[in-house]
């Protein structure tokens, strides 16, 4: 967590009072919560009333996806448009809706560079327009980092609600809910140096959707439950810090990524860098190491004190090919030879040099053990 977020969390956690209570202690906590809501709204470019606090990005995605579908289904709109390489927090609730609520899903394909096919999207919108409940396209992909043209998606959608998972993008690149014209967006605290266990759904004001949780009626009666005020105030502090320092940090991280690519290429000549690096997040990098086993590579690098992943952390421990890479056209063998590296502004050139000093031997050992030809 960033220092400002830690300080706010430590201060707020010592404060007694439930933000929904009317006594003085409760009102004091409520004031802190609403101040945080305004700060977060300023950071993400929306009205304070459009923020609905949740526990996780997964919850916020579920709330948006199921809520928008149920609203559309009342008007017999049961078609959902999404991409073929969304995060599981988007994919899985959509699959659930097909299995339990009669939803019909149309997946928009992506190319080898990691971009959705906008021409295909336009054709699908024209074909199903009056039947579409909503469109959900992630702002940036969590495994390969590509940034989608969400403003163009919204323009093409016209009057169709558009949701976007912006968890990876918020605080890393320029992002404004109002400028994009979205109906709903998901953001999360831990991706910007805030605490785990707090996130938000940004939902256009005046729009009511069916809640998943029923109870006390908090958050426009859309997300009931006692407020995690310490987490929320720390989230706002982290968001303010991230947005205020974004340009400087983004520039630094992009330079670190260039150095990382060059360092790995210098030591392992046959690597393949996946996705377009010109239109991508500053700190996400997907690299295929041919004829290796990605899980073996991960463990060998971990033994050297270098952390990376084989895909989304939310799918860690699940031995299956990455649906993201498969959707981009990689073979199953290529997906199981691919690692995902994440960089932040706290990383250093020396850490990249450390990776460079071991990557050649690590890859050689993995190739020897993998049995791939």
- Structure tokens that stand for 76 in this block: 């017999």
- Of the candidates 46, 166, 308, 314, the residue annotated as catalytic is 314
Enter the DSSP assignment of 109.
P
- Alpha-carbon gap, residue 55 to 194, rounded angstroms: 13
Catalytic: 308?
A: no
Q: Which residues pair with 342 in a beta bridge?
A: 284
* Half-sphere exposure in the Cβ direction for 158 (13 Å, CA): 7
The three-class DSSP label of residue 174 is: coil
Beta bridge mates, 274 = 286
Q: Are 351 and 322 in contact (CB under 8 A)?
A: no
Torsion angle defined by CA atoms of residues 205, 281, 152 and 108, in that order, rounded to the nearest 10 degrees: -100
Q: Could you tell me if 101 and 80 are in contact, meaning their C-beta atoms sit under 8 angstroms apart?
A: no
Lookup: tokens for 333: 């063998």
Residue 219, CB half-sphere, CA atoms under 13 Å: how many?
A: 29
Calculate ∠ Cα 192-196-199, nearest 5°.
70
Name the residue with tokens 């006594």: 23
Residue 103: Cβ-neighbour burial (10 angstroms; 0-12, 13-18, 19+) = buried
Kindly state the tokens that stand for 329.
Answer: 């056209």
- Distance between CA 138 and CA 167 in Å, rounded? 9
Task: Give the count of beta carbons closer than 10 Å to the beta carbon of residue 220.
Answer: 16
Q: At 215, give phi and psi (nearest 5°).
A: 175, -115
Catalytically annotated residues = 314
């Amino acid at each position: 967590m960033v220092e400002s977020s830690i300080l706010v969390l430590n201060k707020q956690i010592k404060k007694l009072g439930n933000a929904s209570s009317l006594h003085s202690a409760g009102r004091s906590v409520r004031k802190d919560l609403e101040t945080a809501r305004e700060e977060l709204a300023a950071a993400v470019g929306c009205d304070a009333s459009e923020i609905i606090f949740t526990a996780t990005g997964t919850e916020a995605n579920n709330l948006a996806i199921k809520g928008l579908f149920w609203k559309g289904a009342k008007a017999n709109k049961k078609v959902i448009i999404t991409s073929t390489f969304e995060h599981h927090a988007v994919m899985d609730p959509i699959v659930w809706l097909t299995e339990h609520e009669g939803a019909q899903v149309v997946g928009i394909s992506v190319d080898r560079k990691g971009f959705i096919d906008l021409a295909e999207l336009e054709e699908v919108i024209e074909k199903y327009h009056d039947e579409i409940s909503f469109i959900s396209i992630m702002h940036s992909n969590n495994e390969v980092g590509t940034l989608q043209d969400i403003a163009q998606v919204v323009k093409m959608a016209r009057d169709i609600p558009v949701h976007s998972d912006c968890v990876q993008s918020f605080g890393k690149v320029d992002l404004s809910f109002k400028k994009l014209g979205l109906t709903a967006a998901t953001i999360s605290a831990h991706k910007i140096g805030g605490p785990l266990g707090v996130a938000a759904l940004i939902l256009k004001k005046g729009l009511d959707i069916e809640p998943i949780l029923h109870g006390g009626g908090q958050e426009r009666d859309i997300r009931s439950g006692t407020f995690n005020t310490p987490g929320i105030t720390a989230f706002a502090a982290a968001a303010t810090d991230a947005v205020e320092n974004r340009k400087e940090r983004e520039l630094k991280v992009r330079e670190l990524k260039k150095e990382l690519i060059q360092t790995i290429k210098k030591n392992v000549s046959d690597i393949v860098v996946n996705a377009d690096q010109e239109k991508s997040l500053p700190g996400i990098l997907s690299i295929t190491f041919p004829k290796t086993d990605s899980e073996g590579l991960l463990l060998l690098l971990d033994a050297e004190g270098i952390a990376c992943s084989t895909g989304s952390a939310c799918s860690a421990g699940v031995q299956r090919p990455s649906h993201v890479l498969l959707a981009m056209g990689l073979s199953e063998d290529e997906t199981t030879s691919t690692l995902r590296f994440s960089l932040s502004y706290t990383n250093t050139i020396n850490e990249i040099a450390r990776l460079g000093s071991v990557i050649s031997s690590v890859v050689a050992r993995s190739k020897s053990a993998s049995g791939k030809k």
